[in-house]
Structure 1
Amino acid sequence: MNGHDTARDVYRQALPVILVSLIAGLFAGTILGSETMRSGIESVPGILLLLPAFLATRGGVYGSLGARLSTGLHQGIIEPRFRANRRLTNAIVASFINGMSVSVFIAVITSLTLTLFGDGGNLLQLVGIMVVAGFLSAILMLSVLITVIFLGYRRGLDPDNVIGPVVTTLGDVFGVLFLLVGIHVVGVVL
């Protein structure tokens, strides 16, 4: 296969996913600009501060999982099947723990920053919101990511060509949505 064919294949596989990502990104912006989100942001000091870090870490943590799975598929050490496999299970558990740990860390750093600048910040509230949002986004992202990688691979798609836009889009859309859910859940509990 020459370089021209490879570039065409990458373009053919990635373009539809990128177009879906574009539309989903606009949807995430709509959620972020909604009155419900604005009132949630106003009701919890620090949400606007932690939002970019939360969204960025969704891509980092679950993008690493996608790359790990893609490499495993290419090397033949992971089968594109939905059954227990030590490597697959370890990768999923590690990503889940990383995602949850980073979510709590972001909440703590946000609270410290708010305290440092005199705005105060309810550490328990921020941690609660981030645990809810981190947990929900982890479950959804792990499920969709593994499904897209395995089904795409079985249909001849190279996961390396599609996983970046999928992870970024899922992280943005569902990160914003689940942050809003976290604000409401913690608001009811506290």
Structure 2
Amino acid sequence: MARWTVRAIMRDMLPVLVVLTLVELGSGLVLDTFQGTLLRYPSLLVLVPVVIGMGGNLGSILASRLSTAVHLGLLDFDPTDDTLGGNALATVLLAFTLFPIVGAGAWLLQSLVGTARLGLGVVVFVAFASGALLSALAIGVTLVATYAAYRLGSDPDDVVIPVVTNTCDVLGVLVLFGVVRVVVV
């Protein structure tokens, strides 16, 4: 398994962080292309940081739990594994619970300041659909990153959470705007 030395951690983390920095820059460019839509519908503008943050949070929670399970020898990377299935299900249920609340909160905030241009149902649906898709993607990214770290002999605690958090940030932008294009625009 992995060694806990500064050199080993730097060897694992530095290339990952350089690549993730470039990925985040790409995410910012994508976000910039939707500036007009966001300014036209302020409720969606409120959703952007929350969806991005919650997607990364869901992924990092799952990554942390799976990394711990790897260290304890409780994870088999088998689709029938109870640890894997239970944590994936918890991630989906958390997303199904939280994202509609986030959508309602974004709509309420925009209604209070008088700039809501979309109905409550539309904003809640956009948030829910984004969260549902993002949770599925977060599960996939987390499983791949955890398995890759395990197979490559890296410490999943060092590599997986930054990879998952940053990747889910980017996917959060893409998923949100994909849903917006289908539902709103």
Same fold by TM (over 0.5)?
Answer: yes
From 129, 141, 145, the counterpart of 2:142: 145
Match of 1:172 in 2: 169
**TM-score, scaled relative to structure 1:** 0.89
TM-score, normalised by the number of residues in structure 2: 0.91
Q: Equivalent of 1:59, from 52, 56, 59?
A: 56
* 2:126–2:176 contact (8 Å) kept in structure 1: yes
Question: Does the 8 Å CA contact 1:137/1:174 hold for their aligned counterparts?
Answer: yes
The 5-angstrom pairing of residues 21-100 of structure 1 reads: 21-34=20-33, 37-79=34-76, 81-100=77-96
Partner of 1:108: 104
What is the CA deviation profile of residues 83-129 of structure 1, one whole-angstrom value per residue up to 9, with x for unaligned ones?
A: 21111101000011112322111101111111222223421111121
Give distance in 1, aligned partners of 2:56 and 2:156.
15
| Residue identity in the other structure for 1:60 | N
**More divergent stretch after superposition (41-50 vs 167-176):** 41-50
CA contact (8 A) 1:137 1:178 kept: yes
Instruction: Measure the CA separation in 1 of the matches of 2:163 and 2:96.
Output: 20
Report if the CA contact (8 A) 2:149-2:155 is conserved: yes
Q: Which residue number in structure 2 is paired with residue 157 of structure 1?
A: 154
Once residues 106 and 69 of structure 1 are traced to their aligned partners in structure 2, the CA distance between those partners, rounded to angstroms, is 26
Unpaired runs of at least 5, structure 2: none
Q: Give the superposition deviation at 1:25.
A: 0.3
Measure how far apart 1:60 and its partner are. 1.5
* Amino acid of the structure 2 residue aligned with 1:39: G
Instruction: Give the gaps of 5 or more residues in structure 1.
Output: none
1:135-180 Cα distance to aligned partner (Å, 9 max, x none): 2222222112101101220220111111222122112211111111
Of residues 106-115 and 132-141 in structure 1, the stretch that sits farther from structure 2 once superposed is 132-141
Secondary structure in structure 1 of the residue aligned to 2:75 = coil
Please give the root-mean-square deviation of Cα atoms over the aligned residues, in Å.
1.7
CA contact (8 A) 2:79 2:85 kept: no
SS in 2 for 1:46: helix
Kindly provide the amino acid, as one letter, of the partner of residue 77 in structure 1.
Answer: L
- How many positions carry a matched residue from both structures? 182
Q: Shift of residue 132 of structure 1?
A: 2.3
Please say if residues 40 and 180 of structure 1, whose CA atoms lie closer than 8 Å, have aligned partners that are also in contact: no
